[in-house]
Amino acid sequence: MRKPTRRREVGRGERVLPGVWRLRLPLPWPGVPHCNAWALAAGDGIVLVDTGMHEPGSMAHLERALDQAALRPEHVRLIVCTHAHVDHCGEAPALRARTGAEVWMHPAHGHVHAGDETPEQTIARRVEVARQSGVPEGPLRRWAEQRRSTGTGMSGELVVDRELVPGTTVATDLGEWQVVETPGHAPSHVCLHQPERRLLLSGDHLLGRVSLYFDEGHTPDPVQEFQDSLDRVGALDARLALAGHGRPFTDVAAHVAANRALVAERLHGVRAALAQGPGTAYELTGRVHGDEFSEETASWLLAMTRSWLTHLERRGEATRGAAGEPGGAEIWS
Ligand SMILES: [Zn+2]
Ligand SMILES: [Zn+2]
């Protein structure tokens, strides 16, 4: 049987507010058909917040989206990335080279695109983590092969001209945007807040459709960091969120509350799985997610399970047992 072909997405641009355009850029990922870059009017040009990932044809999609907003890459005066995931910063090196615009980003971006690590070393590091989590050899080998056959999503080496930290402001025609550190989804995640207009560029920290993901293994407790970031963003009293995926949304407070509720629900699920007896992270993921846990979702769900377990471990609710044999999987109880 032939696989159904997905309708080919193309780059689109639309004005959301005077001086704010949403640039919807296609992604090659199942379940995540596109991401948003945001163009903000700034003098005779624009500030571009996020860039989309780099893959064949991606610059043409960005050009097309900009064109629908009567803009061109040459209008880009500054590139700001909300965090170091390729769908948000992949095209930044190419755009920087093409436009001469600076790239601003939070300093904690280094762990994702470590300059001294080859793609093969990155795969090897992730295979090691997966083995520790109890992933069987077959799926692990297939995952590594698939990773080798796809690009990195980056258009070159990420060069950051200025650190995006609290106190740094981004000047636009809508006023100055303030940097709010929001680690959890990624250590380098920031939101940009425009207090007079009560606008929030929320990246992947807050999405219209609640969806959780944590970059684990780089900081002590991404789940706690994420919850602290929710507190920080909830206190801003923003009125409209311009997110990294999907449509803009209002009722920011309700979205913060929905994220908190989902965190509590997931932690409850992992506690219940642990109550059934000790297991590897892989086994526990199967217990929590059942049929939803497939080779396609495995690396995503497994990263989530490791995040929840790490959080519970720090709260004294879970214990990580030593691997039975050298290179063996950790057992959680
Ligand atoms: Zn992300
Ligand atoms: Zn994203």
Q: Which range among 16-30, 52-66, 173-187, 291-305 shows the weakest confidence by mean pLDDT?
A: 291-305
153 alpha carbon to ligand 2 midpoint, in Å? Answer: 12
Cβ-contact 40, 20 below 8 angstroms = yes
44 alpha carbon to ligand 2 midpoint, in Å? Answer: 29
183 alpha carbon to ligand 2 midpoint, in Å? Answer: 14
Encoded tokens for 281: 């992270």
230 alpha carbon to ligand 1 midpoint, in Å? Answer: 16
Which residue bears the tokens 């990922």?
29
91 alpha carbon to ligand 1 midpoint, in Å? Answer: 14
Q: Which ligand is nearest to the CA of 87?
A: 2
Alpha helices in the chain (DSSP H): 58-68, 86-89, 92-99, 119-132, 137-149, 222-234, 252-275, 281-289, 298-314
Q: Minimal CA–CA distance to 225: which of 236, 214, 235?
A: 214
328 alpha carbon to ligand 1 midpoint, in Å? Answer: 30
Assign 110 a pLDDT band (cuts: 50, 70, 90): confident
| 286-299 pLDDT, tens digit each | 999 998 888 888 88
323 alpha carbon to ligand 1 midpoint, in Å? Answer: 31
205 alpha carbon to ligand 2 midpoint, in Å? Answer: 9
148 alpha carbon to ligand 2 midpoint, in Å? Answer: 21
CA separation for the pair 314, 320 (Å, rounded): 11
82 alpha carbon to ligand 1 midpoint, in Å? Answer: 9
Assign 121 a pLDDT band (cuts: 50, 70, 90): confident
Cβ-contact 287, 276 below 8 angstroms = yes
E strand segments, 70-222: 76-80, 102-105, 162-163, 169-172, 175-181, 190-194, 199-203
Q: Does pLDDT of 177 surpass 70?
A: yes
Encoded tokens for 153: 């999503």
324 or 3: which carries more pLDDT confidence?
324
Encoded tokens for 141: 């080998």
Cβ-contact 33, 60 below 8 angstroms = no
Give the pLDDT score at 115: 56
172 alpha carbon to ligand 2 midpoint, in Å? Answer: 23
67 alpha carbon to ligand 1 midpoint, in Å? Answer: 26
Give the pLDDT score at 116: 63
CA–CA distance from 8 to each of 11, 27, 50, 87, 135 (Å)?
10, 10, 22, 17, 33
Cβ-contact 134, 329 below 8 angstroms = yes
Give the pLDDT score at 241: 98
CA separation for the pair 85, 87 (Å, rounded): 6
82 alpha carbon to ligand 2 midpoint, in Å? Answer: 9
Which residue bears the tokens 């295979």?
127
45 alpha carbon to ligand 1 midpoint, in Å? Answer: 26
Q: How many C-beta neighbours within 10 Å does residue 157 have?
A: 8
185 alpha carbon to ligand 1 midpoint, in Å? Answer: 6
Q: Which ligand is nearest to the CA of 215?
A: 1
Q: Does pLDDT of 114 surpass 60?
A: no
Cβ-contact 321, 331 below 8 angstroms = yes
237 alpha carbon to ligand 1 midpoint, in Å? Answer: 23
